[in-house]
A = this chain, B = another copy of it.
Amino acid sequence: MLARHALPDPEALAAAVAARDRAALARSLNLLDDKRPQARRAASRFLATLPGERLNTAGHLIGITGPPGAGKSSLTSALIEVWRRRQLAVGILAVDPSSPLSGGALLGDRLRMLAHDQGGSNVFIRSLACRGEFGGLSAEVWPMSLAMLAAFDIVLIETVGVGQKEIDISKMSDTTCFVAQPASGDSIQFLKAGIMEVPHILVVNKEDMGAAARKTLTELRTTLKKQIDPDGWQVPALSVSATTGSGIEKLADVIDSHRRWLTEHQLLATRRKRFQGEWILKRLREEFGRFGIEQLGGEPLLFESLTQRQGSPFDLYDSLRDQFLANWKRTT
C-alpha cells in the first residue's frame, strides 16, 4: 500500500489522464493544486508530459460566465446533454461558488449520478467552489484546464461575476459565453459602459419568461450592432431556455462555429499559446510587481518570448523567478 500522500508518477499519470481514466484525472487535479515543493516538481513534469500537439490544437476550451442567478449551471447542464448526444466527452471545472455543480446540490448530484449510470467516462465534473478569489480566478485553474483538455473533447469552465474574473476566463478559453438574465439592466449597462470585455457569444437565458427575454435580447443586439472582437469575430446574441431546452442545440452549434472560425483563421493555436504567456505574466506580476516585470525585460518582450516556449509552464515560471532572485542580495 502506498503512503497516504505518495506522489503519483508523472509520466504514468499523464498517460492515464489522456486515456480518460477518472481516478487519474482526479489525482492529476489534486497534484496541480498541491503546493509542496516535491509535488510542484511532479506537477511540472506531469504538465510537460501531456501531449503538446493535443493541447495546442485539439478539443475546445469554453468559458461560461455571467451574474449569479442567470442560470449558468442549468444552461451548462442542458449543454452537457446535447454534447453527450453528439458523442462528445465533456469535462467541467465549476469555479462558481453559487453553482449547484459546485455545491453538491440537486442538479449537481443528478448530473454526477447520470454520469455514473452511463459508465461514467463521458462526463467529468470537478468543483473548485472556493477558487474564485475576489478580483480573479486562482492560479491553478488554467493548469487544471490543460489536464482536462488532454482527456476531453469539450472542457467547460463555469465561473461567476462581471469584472476581473470575466477577463481572466477570457484569457484561458477558446470561446467565452456571457449569460445574461432577462430584464437585467445591470448586465447590459455593464456592456455599454465598456466595463466588460467582449465575450464571443452572448446568451439570454430564461427565454420562457417571454417579453422580458425578448426585450433583453433586442437591447443586447442593439448594443452589439457593430460589436466585433479584436480578432474580427462578429459577436452573436441569442436566447435560450435551459428549462424547456429551447435554443440549446442552436447554442451548441454557435459555440462550435466559433471554434471552427478560430481554426479556419489559424487562430486557435496562437490563442492557446497566449494563455501560457498571460498566465505566467499574471503570476510574476502578483509575486514581483511591475518592478519584477521590468527587471525581467518588460511585459511586451516577456510575453512574446513566453508564448513561444514549449514545456511546462511551471518550469518557465520557476526559471524566471530564479532569474529575478539572482539579483537579490539577501535571500530569506
B290/A287 in contact, CB under 8 A: yes
Mark each residue of chain A from 123 to 166: 1 if its CB lies under 8 Å from any CB of chain B, else 0.
00000000000110000000000000000000000001111100
A48 to B128, CA, bound (A): 47
Which residue of B has the minimal Cβ distance to A167?
A: B134
Asked if A263 lies at the interface with its beta carbon under 8 angstroms from chain B, I say: no
A164 to B98, CA, bound (A): 19
B294/A332 in contact, CB under 8 A: yes
Contacting residues, chain B, for A98 (C-beta < 8 A): 189, 192-193
List which A71-114 residues lie within 8 A (CB) of chain B.
97-98
B134/A135 in contact, CB under 8 A: no
Q: Chain B nearest CB: distance from A272 CB in Å?
A: 24
Contacting residues, chain B, for A164 (C-beta < 8 A): 134-135, 163-164
Q: Report copies per complex.
A: 2
Contacting residues, chain B, for A184 (C-beta < 8 A): 184-186
Asked if A295 lies at the interface with its beta carbon under 8 angstroms from chain B, I say: yes
Which residue of B has the minimal Cβ distance to A183?
A: B183
Asked if A327 lies at the interface with its beta carbon under 8 angstroms from chain B, I say: yes
Asked if A311 lies at the interface with its beta carbon under 8 angstroms from chain B, I say: no
Cβ contacts A to B, 13 pairs, < 8 Å? A67-B190, A68-B186, A98-B189, A135-B135, A135-B163, A163-B163, A163-B164, A183-B183, A186-B187, A287-B290, A327-B328, A327-B329, A329-B329
- Give A contacts to B, CB under 8 Å: 67-69, 97-98, 134-135, 160-164, 167, 181, 183-187, 189-190, 192-195, 284-292, 294-295, 327-330, 332
Interchain residue pairs A-B with the least CB separation, the first 9: A289-B289, A186-B186, A163-B163, A68-B189, A69-B189, A288-B289, A67-B186, A68-B193, A327-B329
